Structure 1
Amino acid sequence: MTALSVAQWEALEHVLYYLKGSPGRDVLYTNHSHNKIECFCDADHAGSKATKRSTIGYCVFVGGNLVSWRNKKQDVVSKSSAEAEYGAMSQSVQEIVWIHQLMKEVGLATSLPAKLWCDNKVALHIASNSVFHEHAKHIEIDYHFVRDKIKENFISTGHVRSNDQLGDLLTKALNGTQVDYLCNELGLINIYAPT
């Protein structure tokens, strides 16, 4: 705070412009008549200029409503975009398992398999193909948790176009139009907008 660089100052300005432009953004929950769990996960490969670590992000929906979201810098440097995305998938599946267990404990049934959306075809292929080892040796063993949950039919994976990837909002710097589109898809509304 005492000696901001030009880049840090510009980043701060972006945050302040966003906050000033959206004081009334809120999540709207509606009844979609189902309890399906869906998750959009994303990663920016080597997004940190200083450490080259990737940032992962995910958004989890239950019954069509946003209930959980997170972004986090990965603990290790990913050697490829597929590894970064696969790490995001692993974190997302852990959150899906937790939400499913929570709903089960409070007596709410969810339909399985939960849907995990990713925009990286290589990461999806690694997750679904158990013999795709040659190119995936550098991926840590715990990421294969995703594969196990697919085999158990707990989750199913699907490809989403990069423009429709809701996780982008948590991992990348986007322009205003894309931010508005993704916020709308997340179910965020402006409570001050005229009706």
Structure 2
Amino acid sequence: MMDNTSAINLANNPVKHGRSKHIEVKYHFLRDMVNKERIELSHCKTEEQLADVFTKALTGERFDFLKRRIGVVSLNEV
């Protein structure tokens, strides 16, 4: 799940684009996996992007929301 529609379109379209030639080789892995039908990329609204809890600086409220969505609980709550 990703929130970048352009990246999904680029991965799903095996045609080489002049504007995409600058992309590093390691990023072509996703395109290869999509072409081999090993993974499927789908759009996820930015507000629902659970990976943000691991990759971005967040407000306390946003952090708590995403933490609950991925199932992290305090040991006191168990």
TM value normalised by structure 2 = 0.87
Q: Residue by residue, what CA displacement relative to the aligned partner does 1:127-169 show, whole Å, maximum 9, x if unpaired? A: 1111251221110123111111111111000111111111111
2:2 partner amino acid: C
Work out which of the residue numbers 118, 128, 144 in structure 1 matches 2:2.
118
Q: Deviations over 1:21-73 (max 9, x none)?
A: xxxxxxxxxxxxxxxxxxxxxxxxxxxxxxxxxxxxxxxxxxxxxxxxxxxxx
Aligned equivalent of 1:180: 64
Percent identity over the alignment is 37
2:15 equivalent to 1:131: yes
Cα distance in 1, alignment partners of residues 53 and 26 from structure 2: 26
CA distance in 2, matches of 1:173, 1:153: 33
Structure with max Cα Rg:
1
Amino acid across the alignment from 1:174 = L
The list of structure 1 runs, each at least 4 consecutive aligned residues, that deviate by more than 3 angstroms after superposition, is none
Number of residue pairs matched by the alignment: 78
* Structure 1 residue runs without a partner (length 5+): 1-116
Which residue does the alignment assign to 2:24? 140
Cα distance in 2 between the residues matched to 1:172 and 1:192:
26
SS at the partner of 2:62? helix
Higher relative contact order (CA 8 A, sep 6+): 2
Give the structure-1-normalised TM-score. 0.38
Letter of the 1:133 partner, please give it. Answer: H
Provide the rounded CA distance (Å) in 2 between the counterparts of 1:185 and 1:137.
37
User: Partner of 2:50 in structure 1?
Assistant: 166
Question: Aligned partners of 1:172 and 1:166: how far apart in 2?
Answer: 11
The aligned counterpart of 1:153 is 37
Q: Secondary structure at the match of 1:147?
A: helix
Residue deviations 1:54-100 (CA, integer Å, cap 9, x gap): xxxxxxxxxxxxxxxxxxxxxxxxxxxxxxxxxxxxxxxxxxxxxxx
Give the AA of the match of 2:30.
V
**5+ unaligned residues in a row in structure 2: which ranges?**
none
- RMSD between aligned residues: 1.5
AA paired with 1:142?
K
